[in-house]
């Protein structure tokens, strides 16, 4: 199975596992809460049974002075036992409270009532209301085989849900923490995976581009050399000049490409060594524009220098500074389908910063492309751009150099509407 298929499969499998683990954890926690609830119910039932036994015991000690055996005890209770008139409200409250304490039920508030066979309330706690009957625990206050009127004790005691959550808190917190770690680790892994994939695509794109860029001049040089060795040409000095000029031109082009790659490699190692000097930015811009004038003319384009800054002195590295202006102008020229109309503007700010704007009327770019053009190797993969050759290194270099000069760069653009690159650099006095 190749990587293309394996990545989505891994993502799906891990997502399913994480969802599965989450589901299992939730049902475990749910089950644990249910078990706690059942345990609480059992304890309360137990408390009621104990209360009944204690009430019986107390009743017998109140009514008879002698010790009865089990049978006569039951017989006596079955025939005589009644709460009515034998116990006060406070006595019952005290018995229930003690039994709750014995059963370790950490519950301070409860309400109760006792009804007779006609369902009339014969005894109740201070704040007992009819609503408390709902969901109340109950026990009949009579021995199993009693044929006397049965009385029933209703105990209303609310389970403290927070208590359950507090008791299970560590479990819930731990499972949330671990699950979050798993999800985060998963997200990071997936991101790394996709980044790696993107990187390998970018690398193979780059190698293709580079091969192409170097092969074309090599082929031209080879043809020119063939021509030079041709019998007819060898004695024609004009032709020799043309062909050797071609070889020189192509050689220059190749050199430029290699230089670009070397620039990128140097940036990778963060080896930007600037030789700072006071430069007149206008002079540099004019020089670069002049050097490019011929190429722009060939495309029937124009370059308009509106160098309005009152003081254009910057402290910069001359070579790098010329390179960044060249790269911006080169792109402005490359990424236009019609005759390129390039405008370069400068502006001096009150705080000493110098702004240089390079505007074009080219193909422009969408927001997504704008966000990525400063990444190394990034090239927009749309429409006509395929026809334009490049390594996707130019703007990453420009940005690195601008930032090394403590400057900033930004782009404004819209598809079909051209682009404007704005560089802001600190002025000469720093
Ligand atoms: P390269 O030009 O070698 O591809 P760059 O880093 O100079 O590399 O540019 C990166 C990408 O940004 C280009 O491939 C192109 O898609 C886009 N781009 C750069 N400048 C412009 C511009 N002036 N107009 C439109 N798109 C541009």
**Domain ranges for the chain:** 3-167, 169-268, 276-426
Check if the beta carbon of residue 163 is closer than 8 Å to that of residue 106. yes
pLDDT of the residue at 45 = 92
Q: Which residue has the tokens 């050689």?
A: 251
pLDDT of the residue at 291 = 85
Q: Which two tokens stand for residue 301?
A: 């384009």
The alpha carbon of 365 and the centre of ligand 1 are apart by a number of angstroms equal to 9
The alpha carbon of 220 and the centre of ligand 1 are apart by a number of angstroms equal to 26
Check if the beta carbon of residue 251 is closer than 8 Å to that of residue 217. yes
The alpha carbon of 129 and the centre of ligand 1 are apart by a number of angstroms equal to 79
Instruction: Provide the 10 A C-beta neighbour count for residue 429.
Output: 9
pLDDT of the residue at 430 = 46
- Please tell me the distance from the alpha carbon of residue 56 to that of residue 81, in angstroms, as a whole number: 8
Which are the contacts of 316, defined by CB distance < 8 A and separation ≥ 6?
274, 276, 277, 279, 281, 405, 425
What is the SS3 assignment for 156? strand
The packing angle between helices 281-298 and 318-334, to 10°, is 30
Rounded to whole angstroms, what are the CA distances from 102 to 51, 157, 268, 418?
Answer: 11, 16, 74, 83
pLDDT of the residue at 382 = 55
- Which residues approach ligand 1 with their CB closer than 6 A? 327, 331-332, 335, 360, 362-365, 373, 378-380, 385, 390-396, 419
Which segments of the chain have a pLDDT < 70?
1-4, 65, 67, 107-108, 145-149, 269-270, 381-387, 428-430
Rounded to whole angstroms, what are the CA distances from 65 to 59, 61, 82, 295?
Answer: 11, 6, 18, 125
Q: Ligand 1: which residue has its CA nearest to atom 14? A: 379
The alpha carbon of 381 and the centre of ligand 1 are apart by a number of angstroms equal to 10
pLDDT of the residue at 378 = 84
pTM, full prediction: 0.57
The topology (CATH level 3) of 276-426 is: Heat Shock Protein 90 (3.30.565)
Which are the contacts of 257, defined by CB distance < 8 A and separation ≥ 6?
210, 213, 214, 391
pLDDT of the residue at 4 = 66
Atom of ligand 1 nearest to the CA of 382: 16
pLDDT tens per residue across span 309-350 = 888 999 999 988 998 999 999 999 989 888 999 999 999 988
Q: Which two tokens stand for residue 325?
A: 């202006």
Q: Exposure of 217 by Cβ count < 10 A (0-12 exposed, 13-18 middle, 19+ buried)? A: buried
Atom of ligand 1 nearest to the CA of 364: 25
pLDDT of the residue at 3 = 62
pLDDT of the residue at 1 = 56
CATH 1.10.10.60 fits 169-268, yes or no: no
Identify which of 185, 113, 219 has the alpha carbon closest to the alpha carbon of residue 156.
113
- Please tell me the distance from the alpha carbon of residue 243 to that of residue 220, in angstroms, as a whole number: 10
Q: Which two tokens stand for residue 206?
A: 């780059």
DSSP designation for 427: B
The alpha carbon of 276 and the centre of ligand 1 are apart by a number of angstroms equal to 27
């Amino acid at each position: 199975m190749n990587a293309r298929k394996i990545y989505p499969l891994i993502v799906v499998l891990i997502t399913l596992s994480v969802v599965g683990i989450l589901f299992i954890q939730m049902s475990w926690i749910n089950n644990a809460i249910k078990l706690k609830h059942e345990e609480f119910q059992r304890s309360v039932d137990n408390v009621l049974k104990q209360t009944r036994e204690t009430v019986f015991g107390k009743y017998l000690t109140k009514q008879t002075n002698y010790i009865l055996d089990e049978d006569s005890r039951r017989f006596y209770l079955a025939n005589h036992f009644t709460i009515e008139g034998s116990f006060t409200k406070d006595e019952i409250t005290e018995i229930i409270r003690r039994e709750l304490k014995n059963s370790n039920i950490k519950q301070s508030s409860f309400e109760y009532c006792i009804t007779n066979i006609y369902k009339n309330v014969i005894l109740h706690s201070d704040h007992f209301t009819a609503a408390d009957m709902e969901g109340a625990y109950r026990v009949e206050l009579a021995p199993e085989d009693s044929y006397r009127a049965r009385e029933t004790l209703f105990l209303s005691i609310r389970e403290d849900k927070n208590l359950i959550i507090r008791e299970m808190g560590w479990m819930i917190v731990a499972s949330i923490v671990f699950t979050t770690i798993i999800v985060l680790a998963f997200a990071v892994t997936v991101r790394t995976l996709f980044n790696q994939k993107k990187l390998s695509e970018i690398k193979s794109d780059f190698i293709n581009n580079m091969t192409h860029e170097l092969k074309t001049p090599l082929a031209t040089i080879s043809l020119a050399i063939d021509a030079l060795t041709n019998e007819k040409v060898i004695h024609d000095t004009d032709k020799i000049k043309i062909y050797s000029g071609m070889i020189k031109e192509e050689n220059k082009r190749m050199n430029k490409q290699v230089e670009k790659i070397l620039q990128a490699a140097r940036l990778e190692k963060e080896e930007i060594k600037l030789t700072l000097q006071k430069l007149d930015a206008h002079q540099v811009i004019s020089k670069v524009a002049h050097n490019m004038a011929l190429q722009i003319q060939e495309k029937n384009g124009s370059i308009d220098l509106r160098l309005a800054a009152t003081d254009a002195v910057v402290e910069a590295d001359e070579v790098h500074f010329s390179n960044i202006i060249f790269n911006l102008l080169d792109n402005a020229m490359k990424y236009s389908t019609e005759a390129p109309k390039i405008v370069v503007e400068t502006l001096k700010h009150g705080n000493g910063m110098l702004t240089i704007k390079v505007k074009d009327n080219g193909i422009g770019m969408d927001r997504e492309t704008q966000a990525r053009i400063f990444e190394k190797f990034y090239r927009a993969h749309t429409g006509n751009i395929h026809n334009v050759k490049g390594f996707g290194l130019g703007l990453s270099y420009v940005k690195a150099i601008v930032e090394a000069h403590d400057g900033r760069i930004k782009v404004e653009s819209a598809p079909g509407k051209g682009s404007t690159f704005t560089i802001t650099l600190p002025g000469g006095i720093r």
